[in-house]
């Protein structure tokens, strides 16, 4: 998917800062890092996502002649600066955690090393791309952990906050472990399996429910999932039982039924009984209707006979934690570490690395935040992904990223897999990082 809306999709202050950098010759190498300051109260960990789109943006972003002409009309920028801006491209290096990596507060998941103007102008869009998909993936994995073995389908297109958000939500939730989406364009762009049933309007458009079922089956003989809660769920289930033998004579089978309202557990139990009594044990039950991970946990815990779930509104709108407290901060410029000391928003200075240790059960034991030149007997999480403005490898296929995410989740300690807040995971700050921060503080810039 081409997510390059161009460099004008930014905050105005990026351009005014760039003009000052240009005017005063500030083109030294800068190191910026994207990280989350604090986890939301409802999250024990986060899942990195959105790197593919971020790298595509860095490779493709460039000002067009129309962009430059429009900027000139604002009368905010010097003509010589705009001529320089026309040729600006990202030529830097990027290190990052692979998509699907589990991470924690204060750990950089993306590190940009480039001339200061190049690293600065990309700030807004990088945050925009990484923040949303990371937030969605980190929400979606909670459903994956709450309902192991269940079919989970992203259903949130109509409630998402815009078209790009809908597409990125489908991608991030699939990466996190969902099996598919209802979003057709996401299927085309990302190869995500598509799922869907029918709307209540289809039932209401017919004179009776049975005719609606028959018409849908005639037109969709390879994928028949019937919505049965438009009027009376038990009566509709009985109609499914009546229709099934007729379809079987044409070598057509009903794949499933969908329930979208009411007490899902109670209604599913009734429907399952009706279907089983008629010998339709292979007809699955799919449920939707403002379900989130808490509802999933309750339904799965009560062993309700539901085989799959459509998760939409509360996932795509991030209902319980609508944002991450993330930042993209300058950590080094012209070979000197930099540190923000704002109250409640202080950052650890310097170009950094994150090292991860596992316990004897191959579970996460601890992470250490170090300066990049330090060596630890542990796994480094930030790896090279871009050099001189070009990716080092083709984008990894989304199914491969999904498998990697699953392997990351398998390493989570039990306490982090719960939906309730747990004891925080240990992220140690190395002595060298602390010493660097204290040295900068003593300078009292």
Looking at residue 315, what is its pLDDT?
Answer: 97
pLDDT at residue number 279 = 97
pLDDT at 443: 80
pLDDT of the residue at 444: 64
pTM for this model (two decimals): 0.96
pLDDT tens across the length of the chain (445 residues): 455 689 999 999 999 999 999 999 999 999 999 999 999 999 999 999 999 999 999 999 999 999 999 999 999 999 999 999 999 999 999 999 999 999 999 999 999 999 999 999 999 999 999 999 999 999 999 999 999 999 999 999 999 999 999 999 999 999 999 999 999 999 999 999 999 999 999 999 999 999 999 999 999 988 899 999 999 999 999 999 999 999 999 999 999 999 999 999 999 999 999 999 999 999 999 999 999 999 999 999 999 999 999 999 999 999 999 999 999 999 999 999 999 998 888 899 999 999 999 999 999 999 999 999 999 999 999 999 999 999 999 999 999 999 999 999 999 999 999 999 999 999 999 999 999 999 998 886 5
Instruction: Give the chain as a 3 state SS string.
Output: CCCCCCCCCCCHHHHHHHHHHHHCCCCCEEEEEEEEEECCCCCCCEECCCHHHHHHHHHHCCCCHHHHHHHHHCCCCCHHHHHHHHCCCCCCEEEECCCCCEECCCCCCEEEEEEHHHHHHCHHHHHHHHHHHHHHHHHHHHHHHHCCCCEEEECCHHHCCCHHHHHHHHHHHHHHCCCEECCHHHHHHHCCCECCCCCHHHHHCCCCHHHHHHHHHHHCCCCCEEECCCCCHHHHHHHHHHHHHHHHCCCCCCCEEEECCCCHHHHHHHHHHHHHHCCCCCCEEEECCCCCHHHHHHHHHCCCCCCEEEECHHHHCCCCCCCCEEEEEEEEECCEECCCCCCCCCCCCCCEEEEEEECCCCCEEEEEEEECCCCCCCEECCEEEEECCEECCCCCCHHHHHHHHHHHHHCCCHHHHCCCCCCCCCEEECHHHHHHHHHHHHHCC
């Amino acid at each position: 998917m081409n997510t390059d809306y161009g460099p004008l999709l930014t905050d105005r202050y990026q351009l005014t800062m760039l003009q000052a950098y240009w005017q005063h010759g500030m083109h030294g190498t800068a190191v910026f890092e994207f990280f989350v300051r604090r986890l939301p109260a409802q999250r024990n960990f986060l899942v990195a996502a959105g790197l593919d789109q971020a790298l595509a943006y860095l490779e493709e972003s460039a000002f067009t002649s129309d962009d430059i002409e429009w900027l000139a009309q604002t009368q905010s920028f010097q003509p010589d600066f705009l001529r320089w801006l026309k040729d600006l491209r990202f030529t830097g290096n990027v290190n990052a955690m692979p998509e699907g990596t589990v991470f924690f507060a204060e750990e950089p998941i993306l590190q940009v090393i480039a001339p200061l103007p190049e690293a600065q102008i990309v700030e807004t869009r990088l945050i925009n791309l990484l923040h949303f998909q990371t937030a969605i993936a980190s929400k979606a994995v909670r459903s994956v952990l709450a309902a192991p073995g269940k079919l989970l389908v992203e259903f949130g297109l109509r409630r998402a906050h815009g078209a790009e958000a809908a597409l990125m939500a489908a991608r991030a939730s699939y990466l996190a472990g969902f099996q598919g989406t209802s979003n057709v364009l996401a299927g085309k762009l990302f190869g995500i399996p598509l799922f869907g049933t029918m709307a209540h309007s289809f039932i209401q458009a017919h004179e009776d429910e049975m005719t609606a079922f028959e018409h849908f089956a005639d037109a969709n003989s390879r994928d028949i999932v019937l919505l049965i809660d438009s009027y009376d769920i038990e009566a509709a289930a009985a109609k499914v039982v009546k229709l099934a033998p007729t379809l079987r004579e044409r070598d057509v089978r009903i794949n499933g039924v969908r329930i979208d309202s009411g007490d899902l557990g109670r209604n599913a139990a009734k429907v399952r009984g009706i279907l089983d009594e008629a010998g339709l044990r292979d007809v699955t039950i799919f449920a939707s209707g403002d379900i989130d991970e808490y509802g999933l946990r309750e339904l799965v815990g009560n062993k309700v006979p539901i085989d799959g779930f459509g998760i939409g509104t509360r996932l795509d709108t991030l209902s319980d934690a609508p944002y991450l407290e993330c930042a993209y901060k300058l950590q080094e410029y012209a070979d000197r570490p930099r540190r923000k000391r704002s109250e409640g928003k202080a950052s650890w200075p310097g170009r950094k690395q994150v090292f991860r240790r596992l316990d004897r059960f191959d579970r996460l034991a601890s992470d250490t935040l170090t300066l990049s030149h330090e060596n630890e007997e542990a796994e480094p999480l930030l790896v090279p992904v871009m050099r001189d403005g070009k990716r080092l490898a083709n984008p990894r296929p989304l199914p491969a990223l999904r498998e990697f995410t699953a392997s990351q989740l398998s390493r989570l300690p039990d306490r982090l897999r719960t939906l309730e807040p747990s004891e925080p995971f240990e992220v140690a700050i190395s002595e060298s990082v602390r010493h660097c921060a204290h040295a900068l503080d003593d300078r009292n810039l």
